[in-house]
Every structure is written in structure tokens, then in C-alpha cells.
């Protein structure tokens, strides 16, 4: 996996959400390392509602993990 | 991500649910930033039962996260 | 969201399950507010096994949330 | 929902799993109350691998909920 | 459900993973008790990437449940 | 399952993510033990956006499990 910060801690909920999106994308990179292939595939999912929803289904559990790691950014 | 309140805390369960819906939609915006494309896609999922159910599958884990963040809005 | 009780607490497991079903349906209402469209779509999912199973996939995490909120209705 | 025991507690893991299967099926009954329709649909999912797997995807989170409710039936 | 050990405790993570796979398969057996039918269906999912991935989507939450039951086999 | 370290503990979040990917892949190996078949199937999912997203949907809950096992690699 591309090297990132050592922990799941983030300063804000926005950063936490962005980390969840990044975590979701890493599996695609590890499964399909060829950037050219990934770029070629983008139009077929970025304009497909089912695929856009399915991507969101990946981010949701990752956001749950990052939220728990940050104790939900409670005050 | 669009700037929101810094925490997942909400005053009521309804606000918490609405936040979960917003969290679910953010990934679509980040994956497909073009508002015109997103608007063009709406009819194809807003009248498709499978897509409407799939959207609900995204909100459920986000609502779980927001609920835990708010200790389930216990009295 | 339609106004409901302020917390996820329910007196019984049955009420908790019914609340989970209601929570699952709210996203569909928020995504497709037109009652006429939703009614028109019902036959296409209410007699479709894949769609009936997919609806159940939404209720399960919501029931998990409501169960945790009620400490699993332990004696 | 059909009336069941008031709590998610079960004496054994097997009973807990059976309860999870029952919880998964309740949504189908609530969404499609017509027994005749449900019976008519059975052949189309009971001999369809994708549908059988999808049913299992519903039971898994319910079993997680029942397991937590029973503290994983620890000795 | 076929009779198994009374708890979700396992000596090792490998046993825990195998138990999660078994838990995932039980629903298929309960939904389609006919071994002949299940055997007949195997080629259609065992050589179908989507089905193989979907099976993995069932095992993941079961492994989470078994892991929690075993306190993640911490030293 | 191929023999691995006895626990889910990892030194870093990256190792934890790689373990989650490995956990996701084990079910495919157990369901389809024939390496030749798995290799033959790779092109059909590695260049299919829906399949790549579905793989990510398996890794997410496994990463949640590994993260909890490692107390989110908190400082």
C-alpha cells in the first residue's frame, strides 16, 4: 500500500472521510496496479449510477472504521 | 469534502439520519464531481427500485456510525 | 425525515425490528419523494426475489444499530 | 413482526444462528406479505447461486447482532 | 444447523477463519437443503468471479464476529 | 487456510491493510482451490469496474476487523 501516516487518526471529520475514500481506492490499485487500465475504466463507472452507489458502499464501512479510530471526533 | 460541522454529534435522531444521508452522497460527489453528469443520471436511479435499495444500503452503515457517535441519542 | 420518537429506544425487540424496517425505508422516501413513483415501482420489487433480499440487506445493519441502542433488550 | 421471545438471548450458538436466519426472513414477509407470492418465487432463488449467496449476506450481520447479544456464547 | 462446538471460541485465527467460512455456508444449506441441487449449482459459481467475490462478502462479517468472540486472538 | 501469523496484530496500518486484502482473498482460494481456474478468471474481473469495486467491498469489513484487533494503531 502507498505509504501513509502510521495511524488512522485525523484532525477533522473531513480528513477522516477523505482517508476512508483513500482506503476504499487502495484495494482497486492493489487488485489492478496498471494506472492505464484504471484510467480507461473510469468513464464506465463515473457515469454509471449503480457503480457510483457501489463505490459509496465501500467508503461507508471504511468511514465507520476511521470514525471509531478517532472516537467520532467528539469534542 | 464540502465543509460541515467538525463532529458527528447531532441534537436529534432525525438530524443524525440526515447526516448519514449526506455522508452517503459525498462519495458520489467526490467520485463524480460534475454536477451536470450527476443531475443527468438522477432519473435512471430515482425510478429504479434496485438503485433506490442500493442507496439505502449505503445510508445504513453511515447511520450506524452516526448513532454510535451520539450514543444512540439515549435519554 | 418524517418526525419520530427522539431516541432509538423501543420497549420490545419487535418494535425494534419495525423501527429498523422504517429506518430502511426512509432513505427511499428521501431519494424518491414522489409517492406515486414509489407506488408504481412496488410491483417490480415486491415480486422480485433479488430485490426482496436486497431490502433485507438494508434492514440488517439498521437492526444491528437499534439492537445496540437497546442493549439487545437484555433482561 | 410475528411474535417471538422478547430478547435476542439464546441458549446455544445453533439457536442463535437459527434466530439470525429468522430475522433475515422477516423483512421479506413484511415487504411481501402474500405467502402465495413468496412460495411462487422460491424456485427462482433456491436454485440460483447468486440469490443463495445474497441471502447469506443478510444472515451474516444478523448473526453478528445475535452473537453480540449473547456475548458470543462465551463459556 | 449442523451441530458444532457450543461457542465461537477457536484456538487459532486459521480455525476462526474456517469457522467463518462454515457459518457462511450454513445459510445456503438451510435455504437449499437438497445436496444434489447445491452440487449441481457449484460449477456456475465456482468459476464466476462475481459469485466468488460475493461469497467473500459473506465470510467477511462472519470473520468479524468470530474475531470479536475470540478477542482477535490477542497474545 | 494458508498458515499465517497466529494473531491479527500488525506493526503498521499498511501491514494491517495488506492482511485485510489477504483475508479477503482466502475465501476465493477456499471456494475455488484450482490456481489455474483463478488465473484464468483474473482478466474478467481485473478489468471490470463492478468487480473491482466488489472486491473493495470485501476488504473494507476485513480492514475494520484488523483495525479493531490493533486498537486502530493508536499512538
Whether C56 has its CB under 8 Å from any CB of chain B: the answer is: no
Does residue A75 register a pLDDT over 60?
A: yes
Cell numbers found for residue A15:
480528513
Whether B48 has its CB under 8 Å from any CB of chain A: the answer is: yes
Whether F44 has its CB under 8 Å from any CB of chain A: the answer is: no
Whether F56 has its CB under 8 Å from any CB of chain E: the answer is: no
CB contact under 8 A, A30 and F53: no
Q: Which chains touch A (3 or more CB pairs under 8 A)?
A: B, F
Coil/strand/helix, residue A54: helix
pLDDT digits (tens, 9 = 90+) for E20-46: 999 999 999 999 999 999 999 999 999
Angle, CA F53 vertex, CA F48 and CA F56 arms, to 5° = 130
C71: left (phi over 0), alpha (psi -120 to 50) or beta: left
Per residue of chain B (75 residues), give pLDDT as tens: 456 667 899 999 999 999 999 999 999 999 999 999 999 999 999 999 999 999 999 999 999 999 999 999 996
DSSP one-letter code for A8: S
Measured CA to CA, the distance from residue E20 to residue E58 in angstroms comes to: 9
CB contact under 8 A, D47 and E37: yes
pLDDT digits (tens, 9 = 90+) for C19-69: 999 999 999 999 999 999 999 999 999 999 999 999 999 999 999 999 999
Measured CA to CA, the distance from residue C51 to residue D15 in angstroms comes to: 27
Chain center to CA of E2: 13
Residue of chain F whose Cα is closest to the Cα of A31: F46
Mean pLDDT of A48-59: 96
D72: left (phi over 0), alpha (psi -120 to 50) or beta: left
3-state secondary structure chain D: CCCCCCCCCCCCHHHHHHHHHHHHHHHHHHHCCCHHHHHHHHHHHHCCHHHHHHHHHHHHHHHHHHHHHCHHHCC
Contact E63, E17 (CB under 8 A): yes
ipTM over 0.85: yes
E–F CB contacts, 8 A cutoff, strictly below: 93
Contact C30, B21 (CB under 8 A): yes
Contact C9, D3 (CB under 8 A): no
pLDDT value, residue A3: 61
CB contact under 8 A, B52 and C41: yes
Q: Which chains touch C (3 or more CB pairs under 8 A)?
A: B, D
CB contact under 8 A, D27 and C12: no
pLDDT digits (tens, 9 = 90+) for C5-28: 678 999 999 999 999 999 999 999
Whether C28 has its CB under 8 Å from any CB of chain D: the answer is: no
Measured CA to CA, the distance from residue F23 to residue F28 in angstroms comes to: 10
Measured CA to CA, the distance from residue C23 to residue C46 in angstroms comes to: 18
Coil/strand/helix, residue A60: helix
CB contact under 8 A, C31 and B61: no
Amino acid at each position: 500500500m502507498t505509504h501513509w501516516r502510521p495511524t488512522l487518526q485525523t484532525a477533522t471529520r473531513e480528513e477522516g472521510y477523505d482517508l476512508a475514500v483513500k482506503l476504499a481506492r487502495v484495494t482497486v490499485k492493489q487488485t489492478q496496479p496498471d494506472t492505464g487500465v484504471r484510467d480507461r475504466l473510469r468513464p464506465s463507472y463515473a457515469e454509471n449510477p449503480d457503480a457510483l452507489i457501489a463505490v459509496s458502499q465501500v467508503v461507508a464501512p471504511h468511514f465507520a472504521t476511521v470514525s471509531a479510530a478517532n472516537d467520532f471526533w467528539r469534542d
